[in-house]
């Protein structure tokens, strides 16, 4: 039986984890990206503003982690978006669709009681690495 490699991903191009976890883990050709907050990677503080600004920064961090894992938004198969207030869904969705603008991945969105650092938005994903062909089946 062959050995599957488990790679622990860490990049200085995204905010560091705020607890004992990795930015992402790659198992075989699947990338599991931990929840990304709207943190400035230099100050490790939430960016000023509201859900729109935090979503923009969270997605910027997510893209940096995906790149470090030899992946990208075009290879994401599932996103999970956590919101402090589901009333922010529309504002966050406007930011989200600027990044995920075609061949949309599957997605869930939840309102949660509290997020780390009292954030308003957290986004995690599962993606693929390597050569990926997208086919639409109807």
What b/e string do you get for 49-79 counting C-beta neighbours within 10 Å, with b at 16 or more?
Answer: eebbbbbbbbbbbbbbbbebbbbebebbeeb
36 is a catalytic site residue: no
Q: Which of 18, 25, 99, 109 is catalytic?
A: 109
Going by C-alpha positions, the residue among 28, 26, 30, 20 that lies closest to residue 7 is 26
| CB 54, CB 120: distance < 8 Å | yes
Catalytic residues: 109
């Amino acid at each position: 039986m062959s050995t599957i490699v488990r790679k622990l991903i860490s990049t200085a191009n995204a905010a560091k984890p705020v607890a004992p976890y990795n930015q992402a883990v790659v198992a075989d050709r699947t990338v599991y990206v931990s929840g990304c907050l709207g943190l400035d990677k230099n100050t490790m503080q939430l960016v000023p503003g509201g859900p729109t600004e935090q979503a923009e920064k969270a997605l910027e961090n997510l893209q940096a982690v995906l790149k470090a894992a030899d992946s990208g938004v075009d290879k994401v198969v599932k996103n999970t978006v956590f919101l402090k207030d589901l009333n922010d869904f529309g504002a966050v969705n406007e930011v989200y669709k600027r990044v995920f603008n075609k061949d949309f991945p599957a997605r869930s969105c939840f309102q949660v009681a509290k997020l780390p650092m009292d954030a308003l938005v957290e986004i995690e994903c599962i993606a693929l690495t390597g050569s990926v062909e997208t086919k639409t089946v109807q």
